[in-house]
Structure 1
């Protein structure tokens, strides 16, 4: 998998929130942290919760099931268990959020 794909318009993800998108067979959670967009794999490794249904807190995505937290810049788990989730390169172009897939 290589290349960039537009996933949504900037205004579709409110500040401090995430949304889940299906990209090339993967569920990816995209977050708006004060106008900075980040993307990580959508499934929490603890109980399979949708990270895109969570929220942003101090530069992390918070899982809505048990409040595990994952850094938006690299997917590393910083509160909860160990490990983390894969991250994706993300950028804004012409009012749209693009992911490297």
Structure 2
């Protein structure tokens, strides 16, 4: 069952920017692209634990601020010659508000 929770307004995140949502299950980075799409990923690079929310958003990717690894925002997969993945969470926009699937977040933390 999907349980969508309102985590804030789309306008609270600048275009090509991110914000961190602290949950009982860990920190989630919410990214907004230049085309106003939103994506939610764990806020931790699998390489050295860098805060992805402080990275550079370009297209549908984010570059880790520590070692320049690039991750696809939709799939969480590392791009180029880098290997690894970041957990992703369903997110959507409804009436200008960002919604996060809390059930998926809880399920992922239990795994």
Q: TM-score, normalised by structure 1?
A: 0.90
In the TM superposition, 1:3-82 aligns within 5 A as: 3-34=3-34, 35-79=36-80, 81-82=82-83
Gaps of 5+ in 1: none
**SS class of match (1:78):** coil
Deviations 1:56-83 (A, max 9, x none): 1131011111111110111001146311
Which has more radius of gyration? 2
Gaps of 5+ in 2: 103-111
User: Greater helix percent: which structure?
Assistant: 2
User: Greater strand percent: which structure?
Assistant: 1
TM-fit CA distance, 1:22: 1.0
| Counterpart-to-counterpart distance in 2, 1:77 and 1:60 | 9
Q: Which runs of 4+ in 1 moved over 4 A?
A: none
